[in-house]
Each structure stands twice: as structure tokens, then as C-alpha cells.
Chain A
Amino acid sequence: MVNKESRLYPFIFAFIICSIASFMLASLSLKLKARQEMNVTLDVKRHIFDVLKLTPPLPKDVLPELALKIFNEKIEQVVLDASGNIVPGKKHEDIKEGEALYPLFIYREGGKVQGYCFPIKGKGLWSMLYGYLAIQPDGKTVRGISFYKQGETPGLGSEVESLGFQQNFEGKKIWDDALSQVEPVVVAKGKVSDRIPKEKWPYYVDGISGATMTGKGVTALLDHWIRVYEPFFQKQH
């Protein structure tokens, strides 16, 4: 038995107990790591499924392996260059920071394109907003939008994550057929029906009351990203 009164004893004890604790936590984390990472990738894929409106929708308690399998079967990942051409042989992981290459997901059902989806991000009022925008195969109509990460004012700006706000976007246009030009979706200040002339309605969605600045952020990031991907969608018209 070591002398408990010795000055060295607390150090030795601390060293031993810290080693045991680190060993236990490290081995647990090593064992669970694969599963945790799978959960995170799956979470991202779930958002893509949601925004693309997979038909039939994925069951809520689907097994991770099956969800990944469905994802790989139905959704193709391609990389676009600045003029909207698919870069052959490139994967999403290959895109480096600052490169003018853009990831795109193509959702096919039985070989037929059902929709396109790409990541969007930009500044809201306080925080970066992260999400996905899905476009119909015609390249002119919004299929869905989803924000999965934001730090806006709870109860006001944070409503961008709510289903109610996101559903407003479905069916909105990003292309003006008459003028034959791109027309990104704009978040109005307040209700669209009160403020915007009727012929402009297809390009506007209702704003969130009390969150004008967040709405402006969403408008700005949509404008940016829709223009970035526009060359590709023009080819789909």
C-alpha cells in the first residue's frame, strides 16, 4: 500500500484515474464512432429526401442501411462547372474550397428525372442559414426548400425552419417566361397578397412577421444560389 500522506500520492492517483477514464471513453467512442457518423450522414440525406419530396416518402423509422441504399439508387450526385455543364468523373467530396464547381443532386424514379436539389447557405440576421433548394425537372419551378441549421431569433427568424414557411415556396417560379430571364424567389415583407401586384405573385412568398431581416437574408441567398445554378437549369427548359 502506498503512503497516502505522501505529497506525491495525489499526483499518482490523479494520473492513474485519468488514464483509466480516458481509456474507457476512448474505447467507447471508438466502438460507437461508425454508428454516430452514419447518423450524421443520414441526417443530411434525410433533409435531401425531404426537400426532394421522395415518392413514396421514406418511413420515419427506416433502417439506416436501407435509407442509404435508397439514396444511392435514386439520387445521383453530380458536379457542375460555372457554365452549368456536368463535370464528368468528379464527386462532391472532390470540390475544394473556393473552386467554381457546384454540387447537385438529381433525383430519378425509374430512369426519369423527378427533381434537382442543391445546397444553399447565406447570412440571415445573426447567423448563417444552411439548407437545400429543390427544383422541378422543368428547371423553372421550385419543388421545395428546407433550412436545417440556423441561429436566428427563436420564435421569429427561426421560423424559417418551420414547415409553414417552407411550404410557401412550393410551386414558385425562378424563371420569367415572358421576359425569358431568371427571376429568383423573393421573401416579401408581410403578406404577398397585400403588397405585391398580382402578376408578380409567382415570384414572391409570404414573409415572417417580425423577421424582416431574416427574410432579406433568405432573399439574398436565394438570389445568389439560383443565379449560380441557372446556367444548368436553362439547359433543362
Chain B
Amino acid sequence: MSLFGKKERLIVIDGLWNKNPISFLVMGICSALAVTVKMQTALIMALGTTFVLSFGCMAVALIRNYIPSNIRIIVQILVVSVLVIMVDQVLRAFFFDLSKQISVFIGLIITNTLVLGRTEGYAMNNPPWPSFLDGLGNALGYSSFLLMISALREIFGSGTFFGFPVVPHFFYQAGYINNSIMVLAPGAFFLLGALVCIHRMITGHREEH
């Protein structure tokens, strides 16, 4: 078994595209709606989730044979919470201004269904390395949706990208106004639905009943 052979690559690609958690599993929707008004918060959320999910899956996989099955969910949440608190503490120490804005969202990673979904659904039954890759792939798949939604929402809702104005001034003079629905929750719902639809049209995925 190689460290990064065909099988391992497939695990990552599955999470990123073939079985994208947001589009395919419809997981982690709440945070995809909550933190996507601005690129900056979405990016931090994406980085935080990627770290927590990949290492959380690996840690759960490492101890999977010792976890008593009747308390396994609690143990998984414990592992995830430890990682989330670590991220929060490090942000507080080294990126104080950022942490003042987003520490509320960082705490939300614990409740992200995606995290528990992957630790319970994959890491409990697989060795550490594939579990790490599975977590990484899913986190990247989740992040890509997050970043796409927030890019569209910020550009059309606030006329900025990472806080920099991108809509030219003469647009506004010609009567263009920012679409405020993009800043509100419905904008995120519409975009999310549209992106899931496009993704499913390309991959040909259908829900089975």
C-alpha cells in the first residue's frame, strides 16, 4: 500500500467532487449559509474546518478500536471540540483582531454535521491515513462550495471582494444598486440550491427513493 496511490487519490477526489458533502450528502448546510456573507469569514471558516476535519478524522481513526460503541458519539464530539478549542486559542493569541470577529463561528465548527458525519461514517471504520484523506477531501469539497457562495454573495451583495470594491464606480452612477437579498439568508439559499443543481447536472447524481 502506497502513501498516496490511486486509491488514496480517489478518497480525496470523492470528497472534493464525486461525493461532495454539500451537494451529494447535503451536510454542513447551516454554516454554508451563516458565514458566507463575506469572503474573509468564509475563508477562515474553510481553513478552520479543514484543519479540524482532517485531524479529527485521523484522531478518531487512531482510537477507533478502543472507543466503546455506546459512548462513541460523545467521544467523537470530544475529539472535535478539543481541536476546535485549540484553533480558537491559537487565533486569540496570534490573530486577535480576526478572532474578535469570528470566534463565534469557530465554535460553530463543533456543531457542523459534516464533522460528525465523517468521523462516524468513515473514520470509525477505517485506518488513520485514509481517514485523514477522507476528512481532507470532504473539507476541501465543503470549502470550495463555501468560497463560491461567499464570492458571489459578496460581489453582488456588497460590491466588494475580500473587502475591496470591485464594482466600478460608473456602474453605481448608471443606476446599479447592490442586491441586498444576497446579504440576507434567502440569497444564500438560492445560490446554494443553484450550485447543488449545477453540480448534480454535471455528475448526474440522483437521490434514490
Contact = CB atoms under 8 A, between A and B. Distances in A.
Interface of A: 4, 9-10, 13-14, 17-18, 21, 24-25, 28-29, 32, 35-36, 39-40, 42-43
Contact of A35 (B71, B74, B94): B94
A14 B71 contact: yes
Contacts of A13: 66-68, 71, 75
A4 B68 contact: yes
Where chain B touches its partner, the secondary structure class is helix
Contacts of A42: 96
B73 interface: no
A24 B66 CA distance: 20
Interface string B125-143: 0000000000000000000
28 contacts: A4-B68, A10-B68, A10-B71, A13-B66, A13-B67, A13-B71, A14-B74, A14-B75, A17-B75, A18-B78, A21-B82, A24-B82, A25-B89, A28-B86, A28-B89, A32-B89, A32-B90, A32-B92, A35-B93, A35-B94, A36-B89, A36-B92, A36-B96, A39-B92, A39-B96, A40-B96, A43-B96, A43-B100
A32 B116 CA distance: 28
Interface string B29-43: 000000000000000
Interface of B: 63, 66-68, 70-71, 74-75, 78-79, 82, 85-86, 89-90, 92-94, 96, 100
Contacts of A18: 78
Given A17-B78, A32-B92, A25 B85 contact: yes
A29 B92 CA distance: 10
Contacts of B85: 25
B71 to A, nearest CB: 5
Nearest to A5: B68
Nearest to A12: B68
A9 B92 contact: no
Contact of A9 (B68, B78, B79, B100): B68
B86 to A, nearest CB: 6
A203 B25 CA distance: 61
A43 B68 CA distance: 46
Pairs of residues from A and B, 6 with the lowest C-beta to C-beta distance, nearest first:
A39-B96, A10-B68, A32-B93, A35-B93, A21-B82, A36-B92
A40 B92 CA distance: 9
A183 B68 CA distance: 71
A152 to B, nearest CB: 18
A42 B100 CA distance: 13
A4 B63 CA distance: 13
- The interface centre, meaning the residue of A9, A10, A14, A25 with most chain B CB atoms within 10 A of its CB, is A10
A25 B71 contact: no
Nearest to A1: B66
